[in-house]
Structure 1
Amino acid sequence: MAGIYVHIPFCKQACTYCDFHFSTSMRNKQNVLDALKKEAKMRVDYLGTEPIETLYFGGGTPSLLNAHELTSILKSLRENYNFAHEIEFTYEANPDDLSAEKLNMLVENGVNRLSIGIQSFDDKYLEWMNRAHRSADSVACVKRAHEAGITNISIDLIYGLPNLEISQWKSEIDNALALGVTHISAYCLTVEPATALGFRVRKGTEKPVDDEAASQQFEVLIEKLAAAGFEQYEVSNFAREGFYSKHNTSYWFGIPYLGLGPSAHSFKPAERAWNVANNSRYIQKIEADELPITSENLSLEDQFNEWVMTGLRTKWGLDILGGTQRFKIDLRTGNENLIEKLVQEKKAELNNGIFRLTKRGFFLADGIASEFFLVEENSK
């Protein structure tokens, strides 16, 4: 099996915190979409004969596409790739784009899972983020999505926001649960340097994220969603039974995927590749029949580190024996004291050869994972 990710690099306006590749100018939109369709043909051999079981449109803002633009991209994909009979087709959208007409168009084109960027139900925070929608739009669009027949709906929330009180955060979660969605992705606010928020923090007009407050909000999130029947299957992802994101889960299990469009990443065993994150250069390269790609072969150490990073972020953790057979490296070797310390601090557990993080350890997952990383000099 394999997946395809399509990056639509356009947004109505720039969110203060976002460092994904996008443009608020639609001037080159058609040229980018034409180049994307051509790239799909140029890279037809990347996944071999693997059947495509997941398709994900992200961005940017895919919900800015009109019916003709979406159907033409899908036509190109179906002409060039081997799609399974039934696939998970996820479409990222902003609440203000999801009219009844737009939702019906998405359903007609096979979309069966929505990922809606709600972020907050507090209009004050939405304005602070420079989001185009307001809370009422979020509630209304989810209702319309259900009416259109889409039952697999994920929404995004952000915690760690400035001066966000626990009582406010609990209310945010309650509002999310009241929508009847099947999946919630919740992310801690991150201050990225090349963003408006990053500039404000450096200038001193905004404070950095309060890690202690964010940690408390994370704990509340886990408790309230668990009580409501959601399982935390990855650090930032919670789902009702049967509603894991198949596409994202494939990432964490190392299943190959092809990324199309400016800045899109691709992966297959022992190789990672990414497209240029510039719309004009992307168009120029494709029009010149050149792929706008940088790629790297992953060393055994790189592959091991990726296995550690992705595995420790999930409920499945790391199968130590499986890792040893695959990499000829035992996770425990040289890490006995670290593992014992994490277990004693109740940040991790080691049972039946499976090493996984606890709920307490999840908030520190990336930092913990980095302590197990190998560097080539140390593994020769």
Structure 2
Amino acid sequence: MDTLSKVSVSSVYVHAPFCSRRCFYCDFAVEVNSSGDLGAWTEALSGELRAVEREGVFVISEALKTLYVGGGTPSLLGSEAMKSLAEVIGRNRLEDPELEWTAEANPESVTHDLVEGWRKAGVNRMSLGVQSFDAQVLTWMGRLHGPDGAVRAVKAIKEAGVHNLSVDLIFGLPSRLNRCWRTDLYKVLELDVPHINLYGLSIESDTPLGRSVRDGSEVPVNEGQYRDEYLAAVELLGNAGYQHYEVSSFSQPGFSSRHNSVYWDGRPYLGLGNAAHSYSDSYRRWNVRDWLSYSALATETGVTWEKGEHLDVASRSLERLWLGLRTVFGLPIRDLDDPQRLIIESWAREGWSVLEDERVRLTAEGWLVLDRLTLELDNARAG
């Protein structure tokens, strides 16, 4: 077994698994619980963190740069949740004035008191799971908020003093829903939020949606509609002043996600909570997925990581290509060998990439086929 070297991490992801219900398409590591369980959550995180500190592989910096609380639905844990989390992480680690602390929420559980409590604890960025403004679509998804829920939630968040706000939308839904994608885009622009994430619907086999596709009661969107919706969003958001800085991410100037950039740049990070991943250079590991199993381990030995892997040179090279190509910064051409340079020149002719300033970056058309292009570039590597 390879020896694990100590690494200092200044970015931490914390998973809050609780959801009032599981959405039709969801394959995330969630625990259905209508009110969450703040006490059990913080107790489990404390146990895991003690074990991480004893092990000494991932050494948490005395001053975190980013902290991201995802789920699940962290907002189910209530207004005191982030204060309690700060006590687990260590308040002294959260005092850097440049800290970006993001917490996710769903519209139906956002209140002024919740946001105010989170802001006082130190949260300065929120991510809101809107997904659509169409009543029929929200019902089909299994979402608990209505078309006006996002408007009320954004208003409450801004009034409570959090202005760094991201909204998620999902595109590529089955055609039978007759969802007007442009209407949803116009509505999200009316919210005047500085960051928007757009995710294409993914059909996972173990979800209700996946089973419905297998039995023929749902038909996935065709590639043409998927492509058209993505490109329509790119054009509309670009014209509205948003920078398309990553395949799924759009921001007004100065509001890109610093935490997600840690992942894309290949920098080390620590993940706490069930199913959370941690990464350091060539080593990656992940916690047990099931909440109850995780909680039991965390409160007993604290050792919650289920598996780990050491990435070989080939795997690291492939991952570097994929992460680099998914952002607007792309890859430095000097790092590519001659066969790979021929490949990116062919991409430019197809309209999939742009070669400028000694770098290659993908266009929106290229991002639609990111995985295929990454494999093509990797397979062209000499030697």
1:17 to 2:62 alignment: no
Partner Cα separation in structure 2 for residue 179 and residue 117 of structure 1: 14
1:6 to 2:23 alignment: no
1:356 to 2:365 alignment: no
1:299 to 2:312 alignment: yes
Does the aligned pair in 1 maintain the 2:25–2:203 contact within 8 Å? yes
1:318 to 2:331 alignment: yes
1:78 match:
90
TM-score, structure 1 normalization: 0.91
Provide Cα deviations, 1:60-90, integer angstroms capped at 9, x if missing partner: 1111112344322210101685753431110
Does the aligned pair in 2 maintain the 1:5–1:258 contact within 8 Å? yes
2:228 match:
216
Partner Cα separation in structure 2 for residue 204 and residue 41 of structure 1: 48
Does the aligned pair in 1 maintain the 2:322–2:371 contact within 8 Å? yes
1:38 to 18, 43, 47: 47
1:252 to 2:264 alignment: yes
Structure 2 gap ranges (5+): 1-8
- 1:146-157 equivalences under 5 Å are 146-157=158-169
Does the aligned pair in 1 maintain the 2:132–2:138 contact within 8 Å? yes
Query: Which letter maps to 2:221?
Result: V
Does the aligned pair in 2 maintain the 1:13–1:24 contact within 8 Å? yes
Q: Which moved more, 1:174-183 or 1:275-284?
A: 275-284
Partner Cα separation in structure 2 for residue 167 and residue 258 of structure 1: 38
TM-score, structure 2 normalization: 0.91
Query: Which letter maps to 2:11?
Result: G
Partner Cα separation in structure 1 for residue 148 and residue 302 of structure 2: 45
1:196 match:
208
Partner Cα separation in structure 2 for residue 341 and residue 110 of structure 1: 48
Q: Which moved more, 1:202-211 or 1:81-90?
A: 81-90
2:4 match:
none
SS in 2 for 1:47: strand
2:349 to 344, 350, 354: 344
The offset of 1:177, in angstroms, is 0.5
The offset of 1:33, in angstroms, is 3.2
1:241 match:
253
- The percentage of aligned residue pairs carrying the same residue is 36
The offset of 1:374, in angstroms, is 5.7
Change (3 A) 1:69 1:167: closer
Count of residues in correspondence between the two structures: 370
Provide Cα deviations, 1:226-260, integer angstroms capped at 9, x if missing partner: 11000000000000000001100111111211100
SS in 1 for 2:11: strand
SS in 1 for 2:31: coil
2:370 match:
365
2:287 match:
275
Does the aligned pair in 2 maintain the 1:183–1:239 contact within 8 Å? yes
Partner Cα separation in structure 2 for residue 357 and residue 296 of structure 1: 29
The offset of 1:298, in angstroms, is 1.5
Change (3 A) 1:304 1:17: same
Change (3 A) 1:272 1:219: same
Does the aligned pair in 2 maintain the 1:32–1:279 contact within 8 Å? no
- 1:172-187 equivalences under 5 Å are 172-187=184-199
- 1:71-150 equivalences under 5 Å are 71-78=83-90, 81=93, 84-150=96-162
Partner Cα separation in structure 2 for residue 79 and residue 179 of structure 1: 33
SS in 2 for 1:63: helix
After superposition, the CA RMSD in angstroms is: 2.3
Query: Which letter maps to 1:17?
Result: Y
